[in-house]
Each structure stands twice: as structure tokens, then as C-alpha cells.
């Protein structure tokens, strides 16, 4: 689906926003009616205002208590409960940012209707005064792509279909794409990607996208495990249920690519997106616990758990990326359950050794409502990823600091990049919230987009 604003016109109805405890806007002329209707400005509470003829002249929506505002990212998305028609904001209460209101409204339009129902025309809002409508539309469209990809089951989005989606996007935005597939991965020295994906009926592949030919180089590496059974270390059924989202890093990278292209940022940089697209399946030729695998970098990896496959496919892709010495490389991956235990589903941890880059990313994340939290590349834990019989261990025993040790594993393959950051995202909204329905969700893309002008300056 396509996000949209209502066109500005004299026919739109006014919508007033009110914090709990504040006086109603005088121009709403709604005091007695709102009181009689029991309106108390609770978050999302809507009071429809009649005109003299019994028609609808406008509405008031509550924002809740100002002291609790930080609990909700996109309160304006609650206004999608308004009657169908075109609306405009009649006021801008203190503490609300026009750009966040615009984006929040658009994100609230999202529905995944591929298998059930159809898009329904709900209320539309004129882009709030002071907001950048084009930028909000570009960001929302990129987020919608990410959500659609994550929400699509693996039966309809295996590595081949993920490649098709990437090609369709590249065709739309004028990007170049090349793909290395199947046995060619082994022949061209991508042994880890090939090993993880070889048991699937759908061949593994490395999707390589490029756009822009001047300026600093940004490389995004997105984990594209289209379904993760756990391999021979088979996941229990309850843990396998959401594994269609294990390509959330790839989906987020493609959504960010769409945002960068639509906002014109690709004209100021050399952009590359690498997606190792595989299924971690079970078959006679599946890689095994105890196997020692070679990597493109030349480091050997002991496989102590075939369910720690994401870092393996990322390792080869990251090594390939560093051969061009990008100014900044960012990996995006639904990588560890440990990250969820530490920070929950809303706040992905990120890792970065460069303090200036980390500070810019953290600041932008909070400003645009796309939260991230910095975690350390803790050098004393390096020994945990160094087994006795190989250079690296893909799954250290003990279970502690799992997100950190995974990040340390990836950092071994980032040598050659000017700066490196890793985001351990979840890619899923477990319970519906305003602007974020239950299901696939992008994490980190908007924060990266907002921080790039400072990071790549």
C-alpha cells in the first residue's frame, strides 16, 4: 500500500489535539458539548463535534497526560479512529513536532492485506503545517516495504522471492543489482553463505546492490535468512513460529535503501547493499554441529550450534564489503535472543567503536522516535569466541553476553571498513501500538537516515 496525505482544501474538517488537564482550544467552541460527552482528553479519546444542522463539523482528540508522553511514539496515529473523510490539524500543542506528527499519521495507515481483506479508505489528514511532506512520505513508504517483506511468510518469500523484491525496488529507483547464486557461491569464495543455505530446496544467494557514484561510501549488510529452522540444532516449534522474520535485517536494509533514494541522499554518496539470502534448512547435506568451516576472510569457524547461522552468512558478506574499504559499514540483523532479554522488543542494541559515529546515531535515534541503545564491544569477552580447534566459535557455551559475543564475532570481519556499526534488531511488534500494528516493523532505518548527514560529513 502507498501512504498518502489529504490535499489541502477548504473542505477538510478541523481536528484539535488536547493534553489532559489543558483547557480546550477556544476556537473549537466545544466546552459544554465535550463536558456533556464525558471528554477528559485521555490518550486517543475522540469527541466528535456536531454543527447546527446535526452534521459533523470537527473533532477533538485527547493526548493523555503530558507527563506520560514519552510512553507513546506516535499518538497522532490514534486519530485513525476518526470517521472517513479529510481532516486538518487546527492546533499544534506544545511538545509535539510537526514532522513526527506527519510520519506518525502515515505509519498509522499501514495494513497488511495480502492474504485477508483489502485496503480500506479511512480518514486522511492534510500534512501538518511545518512538516516536510515529501520526506515523511518517503520514510513511510520505505517502512511499509520493510513491514510487507517481514510479514510475508517464507513460503512466499524465500531467497528467490527476496531477490525478486530487491530487483523490483532497484528497477523503481534506478539502482544496479548483481546476484551470485547456488554453487557459484562456493566457486567464488563465499563458503559460509553456501554452507548455511545449501540444504534448502531454494538456492542460497548474495544480492549486491549499488547506487550513486560519488561521495563517501556507505555499505549496508542485511541478514536475509528467509526462514530459520535452526538447522540440525532444530528449534522447538514455539521458537520457530516467527522465523519468517529472520530476514528482518535485509527487509530493513531495503526499506532504508528506498528512503535514501526517495530523499535524494543517494546523490551524495556511494551506496552499497549486500544481502546474503538463505534458508537454514534440514537435509542430508546440511552443515553440522562440530563442523569447521572456512570463511572468505580465511578465518576458520567451529560450528557449535547450527542455529547461530546469521553471523556466518553476514561474515562472508561483510568481508566482501570491506574489500572496497567503505567509509562506513552497518550490519542489520535479527541476530540474538540475548538482545531481547537485555532490552526487550522495542530497543535494539547497537555496537560501534567510533564514539562520534555512535553519538550521532544515538542522538538521531531518540530525536526521530526510532530508539537504539549503545552496547559495548567488550574486548575481555573475545576469548569466548576463540575455540581450541578453529579461529572462531559461532556459539560460545554458557549463554551469557550472547549479543556482545555475536557482535565481537562480526567485528572480526569488519576490518577494512573505515567505521563499523552493528544493529541487533528484533523486526517485530509483538503487541499493537499507535503507528505500529502487530507484525513486522523496521528498526534503526530512520535513525540511520537521520544521522548520516553528520556521520558522513
> What is the set of active-site residues?
235, 311
Q: 171 is written with which cell numbers?
A: 528497477
**What number of other Cβ atoms are within 10 A of residue 330's Cβ?**
26
C-alpha angle 443/422/357, rounded to 5°? 95
**What number of other Cβ atoms are within 10 A of residue 385's Cβ?**
22
Rounded to the nearest 10°, the torsion over CA 72, 77, 81, 82 is 130
Q: Backbone phi, then psi, for 171, in 5-degree steps?
A: -65, -40
Give the C-alpha separation, 230 to 365, whole Å: 32
Residue 293: its H or E element: strand 292-294
Asked whether 330 and 422 are in contact (CB, 8 A), the reply is yes
Sequence-distant (6+) residues with CB within 8 A of 41 are 18, 19, 20, 21, 22, 60, 62, 63, 64
Alpha-carbon Rg for the chain, nearest whole angstrom, is 24
Select from 142, 60, 72 the least CA-distant residue to 100.
Answer: 72
Largest CA distance in the chain: 83
Asked whether 230 and 306 are in contact (CB, 8 A), the reply is yes
- What secondary structure letter does DSSP report for 428? E
Asked whether 381 and 392 are in contact (CB, 8 A), the reply is no
Say which residue the cell 546476484 belongs to: 179
Amino acid at each position: 500500500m502507498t501512504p498518502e496525505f489529504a490535499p489541502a482544501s477548504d473542505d477538510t474538517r478541523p481536528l484539535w489535539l488536547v493534553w489532559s488537564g489543558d483547557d480546550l482550544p477556544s476556537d473549537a467552541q466545544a466546552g459544554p458539548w465535550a463536558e456533556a460527552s464525558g471528554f477528559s482528553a485521555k490518550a486517543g479519546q475522540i469527541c466528535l463535534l456536531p454543527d447546527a444542522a446535526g452534521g459533523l463539523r470537527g473533532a477533538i482528540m485527547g493526548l493523555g497526560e503530558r507527563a506520560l508522553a514519552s510512553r507513546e511514539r506516535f499518538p497522532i496515529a490514534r486519530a485513525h479512529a476518526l470517521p472517513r473523510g479529510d481532516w486538518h490539524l487546527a492546533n499544534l500543542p506544545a511538545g509535539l513536532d510537526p514532522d513526527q506528527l506527519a510520519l506518525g499519521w502515515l505509519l498509522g495507515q499501514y495494513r497488511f492485506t495480502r492474504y485477508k481483506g483489502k485496503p480500506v479508505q479511512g480518514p486522511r489528514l492534510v500534512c501538518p503545517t511545518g512538516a516536510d511532506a515529501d520526506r515523511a512520505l518517503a520514510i513511510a513508504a520505505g517502512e511499509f516495504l520493510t513491514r510487507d517483506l517481514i510479514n510475508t511468510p517464507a513460503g512466499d518469500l524465500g531467497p528467490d522471492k527476496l531477490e525478486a523484491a530487491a530487483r523490483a525496488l532497484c528497477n523503481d529507483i534506478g539502482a544496479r543489482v548483481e546476484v551470485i547464486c547456488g554453487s557459484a557461491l562456493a566457486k567464488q569464495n563465499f563458503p559460509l553463505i553456501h554452507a548455511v543455505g545449501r540444504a534448502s530446496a531454494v538456492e542460497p544467494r548474495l544480492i549486491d546492490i549499488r547506487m550513486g557514484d560519488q561521495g563517501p561510501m556507505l555499505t549496508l549488510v542485511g541478514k536475509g535468512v528467509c526462514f530459520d529452522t535452526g538447522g540440525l540444532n532444530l528449534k522447538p516449534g514455539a521458537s520457530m513460529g516467527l522465523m519468517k522474520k529472520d530476514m528482518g535485517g535485509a527487509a530493513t536494509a531495503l526499506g532504508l535503501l528506498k528512503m535514501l533514494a526517495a530523499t535524494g541522499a543517494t546523490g551524495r554518496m556511494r551506496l552499497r547493499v549486500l544481502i546474503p539470502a538463505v534458508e537454514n534448512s534440514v537435509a542430508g547435506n546440511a552443515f553440522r554441529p562440530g563442523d569447521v568451516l572456512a570463511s572468505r576472510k580465511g578465518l576458520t569457524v567451529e560450528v557449535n550450534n547450527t542455529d547461530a547461522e546469521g553471523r556466518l552468512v553476514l561474515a562472508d558478506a561483510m568481508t566482501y564489503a570491506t574489500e572496497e574499504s567503505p567509509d562506513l559499514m552497518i550490519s542489520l540483523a535479527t541476530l540474538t535472543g540475548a538482545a531481547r532479554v537485555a532490552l526487550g522488543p522495542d530497543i535494539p542494541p547497537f555496537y560501534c567503536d567510533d564514539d562520534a559515529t555512535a553519538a550521532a546515531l544515538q542522538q538521531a535515534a531518540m530525536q526521530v522516535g526510532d530508539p537504539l541503545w549503545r552496547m559495548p564491544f567488550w574486548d575481555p569477552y573475545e576469548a569466548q569466541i576463540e575455540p581450541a580447534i578453529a579461529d572462531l566459535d559461532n556459539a560460545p557455551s554458557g549463554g551469557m553476553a550472547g549479543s556482545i559475543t555475536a557482535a565481537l564475532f562480526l567485528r572480526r570481519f569488519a576490518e577494512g571498513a573505515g567505521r563499523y556499526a552493528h544493529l541487533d534488531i528484533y523486526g517485530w511488534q509483538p503487541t499493537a501500538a499507535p503507528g505500529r500494528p502487530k507484525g513486522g516493523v523496521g528498526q534503526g532505518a530512520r535513525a540511520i537516515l537521520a544521522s548520516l548527514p553528520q556521520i558522513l560529513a
